[in-house]
Amino acid sequence: MANKRDKTESDVTTHDGLNPYTIVKDLLKESVTRLELSDNIYEILKKPMRLFEVSLPVRMDNGEVQNFTGYRCQHIDILGPTKGGIRFHPAVTVDEVKALSIWMSLKSAILDLPLGGGKGGVIVEPGELSDRELEILSRTYIRKITPIIGPEKDIPAPDVNTTPEMMGWMIDEFDQLRGYNIPGMITGKPIIIGGSLGRLEATGRGVVLTIQEAAKVLEIDLSKATAAIQGFGNVGSMTAKFLDELGVKILAVTDAKGGIYKKDGLNIPELIKFVQEGNHASEYSEAESISNEEMFGLEVDILIPAAIENQITKDTAPTIKAKILAEAANGPTTPEGDAILEEKDIFVIPDILCNAGGVTVSYFEWVQNSMNYYWSEKEINQKLEEHMVFGFESIIKMRDKEKCRMRQAAYMVGVNHIVKALSARGWIKDSDLSSKE
């Protein structure tokens, strides 16, 4: 017992020592410099405005109490209330949550959503918990962060390993505490209690919309294209579904347990059904098995990391043959991996654009909750497309103007937007702004 790592404590050495907070700060600094803004702007943006750590004691089914650790981080709320998901994962760290909250601010800024960035995390392997334990943990977490959340303050949502069902428990706990029904306190809820049509599919739909835009730029015919996906959770599986509908052949899918490959393309509707029945994608028997490393090196047009951070590294990037890397996950590429992608001239759809469809429809859900009037799925999907295409075009324009890469252009678009609000609120002086227009 003594040598066993305490699974409820944060371990900052995870992710092979690659710290996502350091990575995002370096990218912020680089974009402030490129935009010829003063360092004062970097000083403001580099630190989240609020970080909350909570202890979450849960009486487990065996009678023992296990005390989990949770966080909620709010980056900046000058554009609107902070917003972002809650992740349940054993590798959650303080610095990961901080980085994820900054990425949320940038996503909202790029897509012109009146929101700031927030993120939550609980250090836990949810697969090891019973349904009862998971429900108690979800409810305890929301109770503990209640003082700093709410529809006008900070609005949580699903993220890695959290589901609409869990959002249902969380809103129920919050409403019980407050004494009335507050539908806009969380998004990604079940539809019957105020969830939005199209939210479940939104991140994957958004990923595919950005792939369609990238294919136009690169003149790739998607009906003849091939793809491989890392991760088959909500985002990976929905991305597969919409790509499949466009005629893209998905040759490989990997998950935490392994991977599957079929040279003529996997049967995606069947695979989704298989996973919905409670199986892992990698257990699907109508295909050959493939490792994560082999999948990265496949001869495909589009590669989609849809799992966690730091997957495209100095080791995996050199093997990549894809023309498009669509970052459906948050922070999937390390700086070293990114430099290799640049050398290889791979078109990167950066995470802060690629996966922003989720928060966009979450924003629509929150708007509908406050109106108590609900749009059709068609309206939601139309509005989603408008925001995704707007974000993509703003970044392409910046890329062409600054002659930089998509990632740098995305950061610059996001930072520029936030800077306008900093200026309007009097946080910065004219001398902090660039003489560049």
**Nearest-approach distance from CB 71 to ligand GLU, in angstroms:** 14
The CB-side HSE value for 391 (13 A sphere, CA atoms) comes to 33
| Residue number, 83 or 323, with CB nearest to ligand GLU | 83
Handedness of CA 325, 328, 329, 331 (dihedral sign): positive
| 159 is a site residue for ligand GLU (CB under 6 A) | yes
**Nearest-approach distance from CB 330 to ligand GLU, in angstroms:** 5
Candidate list 32, 73, 137, 157; residue touching ligand GLU; CB under 6 A: 157
One-letter amino acid for residue 320 of the chain: I
Pairing of strands 116-123, 65-76: antiparallel
| 358 is a site residue for ligand GLU (CB under 6 A) | yes
Candidate list 34, 72, 75, 83; residue touching ligand GLU; CB under 6 A: 83
47 is catalytic: no
**Nearest-approach distance from CB 199 to ligand GLU, in angstroms:** 8
Q: Give the range of 163-171, 246-254, 355-363, 402-410 binding ligand GLU by CB under 6 A.
A: 355-363
| Residue number, 123 or 352, with CB nearest to ligand GLU | 352
| Residues forming beta bridges with residue 88, ordered by sequence position | 122
Spatial distance between the Cα atoms of 313 and 311, rounded to a whole number of angstroms: 6
| 231 is a site residue for ligand GLU (CB under 6 A) | no
| 362 is a site residue for ligand GLU (CB under 6 A) | yes
**Nearest-approach distance from CB 59 to ligand GLU, in angstroms:** 29
| 205 is a site residue for ligand GLU (CB under 6 A) | no
| 117 is a site residue for ligand GLU (CB under 6 A) | no
| 355 is a site residue for ligand GLU (CB under 6 A) | yes
| Residue number, 84 or 337, with CB nearest to ligand GLU | 84
| 196 is a site residue for ligand GLU (CB under 6 A) | no
**Nearest-approach distance from CB 84 to ligand GLU, in angstroms:** 5
SS (H, E, C) the chain: CCCCCCCCCCCCCCHHHCCHHHHHHHHHHHHHHHCCCCHHHHHHHCCCCEEEEEEEEEECCCCCEEEEEEEEEEEECCCCCEECCEEEECCCCHHHHHHHHHHHHHHHHHCCCCCEEEEEEEECCHHHCCHHHHHHHHHHHHHHHHHHCECCCEECCECCCCCHHHHHHHHHHHHHHHCCCCHHHCCCCCHHHCCCCCHHHHHHHHHHHHHHHHHHHHCCCHHHCEEEEECCCHHHHHHHHHHHHCCCEEEEEEECCEEEECCCCCCHHHHHHHHHCCCCHHHCCCCEECCHHHHHCCCCCEEEECCCCCCECCCCHHHCCCCEEECCCCCCECHHHHHHHHHCCCEEECHHHHCCHHHHHHHHHHHHHHHCCCCCHHHHHHHHHHHHHHHHHHHHHHHHHHCCCHHHHHHHHHHHHHHHHHHHCCCCCHHHCCCCC
| Residue number, 233 or 337, with CB nearest to ligand GLU | 233
Spatial distance between the Cα atoms of 235 and 205, rounded to a whole number of angstroms: 9
Candidate list 311, 330, 368, 369; residue touching ligand GLU; CB under 6 A: 330
**Nearest-approach distance from CB 83 to ligand GLU, in angstroms:** 5
| 184 is a site residue for ligand GLU (CB under 6 A) | no
Q: Which of 25, 98, 119, 262 is catalytic?
A: 119
Q: Give the range of 4-12, 33-41, 358-366, 408-416 binding ligand GLU by CB under 6 A.
A: 358-366
**Nearest-approach distance from CB 390 to ligand GLU, in angstroms:** 17
**Nearest-approach distance from CB 14 to ligand GLU, in angstroms:** 19
The dihedrals phi and psi of 220, each to the nearest 5 degrees, come to -105, 135
Query: Total number of residues binding ligand GLU (CB under 6 A)?
Result: 12
**Nearest-approach distance from CB 146 to ligand GLU, in angstroms:** 18
Candidate list 20, 84, 121, 391; residue touching ligand GLU; CB under 6 A: 84
Closest residue by beta carbon to ligand GLU: 85
Candidate list 41, 275, 348, 359; residue touching ligand GLU; CB under 6 A: 359
Q: Give the range of 83-91, 270-278, 317-325, 367-375 binding ligand GLU by CB under 6 A.
A: 83-91
| Residue number, 330 or 394, with CB nearest to ligand GLU | 330
Spatial distance between the Cα atoms of 365 and 371, rounded to a whole number of angstroms: 10
Spatial distance between the Cα atoms of 151 and 185, rounded to a whole number of angstroms: 4
Q: Please give the residue ranges that form the binding site for ligand GLU (CB under 6 A).
A: 83-85, 157, 159, 187-188, 330, 355, 358-359, 362
Tell me the catalytic residues.
Answer: 119
